Amino acid sequence: MIYLSLLERYMPQYIDWKQAKTDWKFDIPFFISGNVMGPLAQFCAIGVAIQIDTHFRLTSTLADLPLLAAIPLALLLGDFFAYLLHRHSHGFRSETLLHTFLWKVHSIHHLPNKLYTLNNARSHPLNVFLAVFFRLTPILLLGGNAEIIFAVGVFEVVINYAAHANIAVKTGWLNYIFITPDLHRYHHSNQRKPCNFGNVVVFWDFVFGSLYIPGKKVIPAQEIGVFEEANYPKKFFKQLLFPFSKTKRTTNQG
């Protein structure tokens, strides 16, 4: 985070996206809450995996593979369920109460009208819990050991913070492997159909047709955020309660 923040300071993609003093009142509380809910989700995922394994005696697979093979497979497996959660949180194919609730939870992350390293953490605690739980549980069920889980966690944290970084750099061929700033800025756009739902890798976006690689095109800075921002509360604790309010479904599309 320190490294990325220094790069943002000296080579920003957009000057207007620099973190302001007023941003800290959201960035710090969400960062703290996310670092509480993340370990709680890990604890719950371990508990679920132990219970399922106790009843069904699943055969370990990932831990039996060489580490260099197990880590990419675990990344793909964990990102598949995280991808499904993320895509359905944008109301994929449905406007059911569940999809509406998932979007209201996830939409807190889309509220900022600029992207920078630290506001990767600006996610509703429930969103953090669900994302970690859905990513980690299948890896545990297929025998992911401590080394595999640690490696996947490192990739997830680094890629997520880097994807939000306001750095003037072209990521080239990396756009075809990982979720990069070039790709993730378009995911946050309120002017186009949602795309690039992957958390770490682009594989599932490619498979399911939601991948958008912009090439040399640069997203306009003012396109970031939710379309109906006025519907959202302006204070941290009220944003925590927003998913449980009676507010109608909003959108991040224009």
Successive 10-residue mean pLDDT values, the chain, 254 residues: 90 90 92 92 89 73 91 95 94 76 93 93 94 91 90 93 92 92 92 90 96 84 82 91 80 61
User: Residue 30: is it exposed, middle or buried by C-beta count within 10 angstroms (0-12/13-18/19+)?
Assistant: buried
Backbone phi, psi, residue 193, to 5°: -60, 135
Question: For position 53, what pLDDT does the model report?
Answer: 76
Asked whether the beta carbons of 175 and 191 are under 8 A apart, the reply is no
Question: For position 59, what pLDDT does the model report?
Answer: 66
Instruction: Give which of 156, 154, 157, 150 is closest to 63, Cα–Cα.
Output: 150
Question: For position 61, what pLDDT does the model report?
Answer: 85
Q: In the chain, what are the domain boundaries?
A: 35-244
């302006």: which residue's tokens?
A: 234
Reduce the DSSP state of residue 112 to 3 states and report it. coil
Count of beta carbons in the 10 Å neighbourhood of residue 232: 18
Asked whether the beta carbons of 60 and 70 are under 8 A apart, the reply is no
User: pTM here?
Assistant: 0.90
Q: 90-113 pLDDT, tens per residue? A: 986 567 888 889 999 999 999 999
Count of beta carbons in the 10 Å neighbourhood of residue 16: 12
Asked whether the beta carbons of 181 and 165 are under 8 A apart, the reply is yes
Distance in angstroms (rounded) separating the CA atoms of residues 193 and 151: 32
Distance in angstroms (rounded) separating the CA atoms of residues 133 and 124: 14
